[in-house]
Amino acid sequence: MKLLSLTSLAILVGMLPNAGWTQAPSDRLATDWFDDDEWNLEVRYIITPDELARYKGLATVRARDEFIAAFWQRRDPSPGTAVNEFQDEFTRRIEYANAHFADPNDAPHPGVESDRGRVYVTVGPPQKVEPYPGGAHEIWRYSERDQNFVFAFSVPPISACDGSYRIFSPAPIATARGTFTSIQVYPRRFVTVSIAVDFSQAASVAHSLERPTGEPVPFEEAAMLGMGQLGPAGSDPLSQHLLTCRMFEPGGMGFTQPLPTGSYVFTSRIVLVGGAVREERVAFAVQ
């Protein structure tokens, strides 16, 4: 038998299909992987700030897969069985919210990002839905098992009222007040902020939410409570430019959002038509 030369052997090896001769592709995630990650958006309403921080810091595909598996396992009411009832119900709520609460005039945002979608995912289906007496609103009522929650929503076509739902019941478990700012903290970490303002005398209204250290609260945690402004300060009163909706209530404005557990400082700033400025900071905690 004629032996192959080293040169011929090397050529043959190069022609063979990859069977472990080359190094496996890297398991490391790109440095900006989180920017395009969709899973964290799906679970935004149930993931804790600590979990989200750890998820952002993952460096490999394997670590990410293991984190997601452990995330659902921690929430499984019947560990050791083939079914995770929590995950299945959560998926059903997401699909229902997207199918029923999307605004056709706001196509980029799925139904789960609407106020009704957010509450449906976090609290569940209401026991009863009824129209609000005053127009494009509806009321969701929950049973005693769900702490007798009653939500009032602005619904399309009043699209400018996003973030404007109200809690009618139960009573707040904590309240913090300033001169013209009132904050109510409800069960399940819902927070309502009301700002007393005469829109016929105000040129702009701005607000922000910070940690006690002065660090701004990220939008993914605070949404509309985080930062906002109505109208650039000028000589025209805001009343000439505002829609009548639930964000603008008798005597001022307000909005409701769930917040993670922690301590906060809410700042309200009203610029009057004459140029005078009213500003105050109100501290509160969410347990």
Question: Are 178 and 113 within one domain?
Answer: no
User: 183 with 210, same domain?
Assistant: yes
State whether 41 and 143 are in the same domain. Answer: no
* 53 within a domain of the structure (yes/no): yes
Residues 202 and 269 in one domain: yes
Q: Where among 119, 144, 169 does a domain terminate?
A: 169
Strand, helix or coil for residue 99? helix
Expressed as residue numbers, the domain containing 270 is 174-286
Between CA 63 and CA 216 the distance in angstroms is 29
CA–CA dist 112, 97 (Å, integer): 5
Whichever domain contains 277, its CATH number is: 2.60.40.2140
Spatial separation of the C-alpha atoms in residues 71 and 113, rounded to whole Å: 22
Do 159 and 185 belong together in one domain? Answer: no
pLDDT tens for each residue of 222-259: 877 888 888 877 778 988 877 666 667 778 888 888 89
Q: Which residues contact 131 (CB under 8 A, 6 or more apart)?
A: 137, 138, 139
Closest-CA residue to 206 (of 277, 284, 286): 277
Q: Write down the residue that tokens 């997207």 correspond to.
A: 98
The model's pTM is 0.77
281, 179: one domain: yes
Residue 17 lies in a domain: no
Q: Which of 163, 173, 167, 150 is nearest to 287 (CA)?
A: 173
Predicted confidence (pLDDT) at residue 95 exceeds the cutoff of 60:
yes
167: helix, strand or coil:
strand
Give 124-166 as a DSSP string.
-S-SEEEE-TTSSEEEEE--GGGTT-EEEEE-TT-GGGTT--E
Q: Is residue 264 part of a domain?
A: yes
The tens digit of pLDDT for each residue in 5-26 reads 545 544 444 554 554 444 445 7
Domain count, the chain: 3
Q: Are residues 195 and 108 in the same domain?
A: no
DSSP 192: E
Task: For residues 179 and 275, state if they share a domain.
Answer: yes
β-sheet bridge partners, residue 216? 210
Q: Is 233 within a domain?
A: yes
Query: Residue 236 has what pLDDT?
Result: 83
In a domain, 222, yes or no: yes
CA 129 to CA 97: how far, in whole Å?
Answer: 15
Q: Which residues fall within 8 angstroms of residue 167, CB to CB, at 6 or more apart?
A: 149, 150, 151, 152, 184, 186, 190, 192, 256
Q: Which two tokens stand for residue 101?
A: 């609460």
pLDDT bin (cut points 50, 70, 90) of residue 164 is low
pLDDT attached to residue 198? 93
Which position has the higher pLDDT, 104 or 275?
275
The reply to whether 81 falls in a domain is no
Residue pair 151/139 in contact by the 8 Å Cβ criterion: yes
Would you say residue 148 lies in a domain? yes
Are 230 and 149 part of one and the same domain?
no
Residues 146 and 206 in one domain: no
pLDDT of residue 104: 76
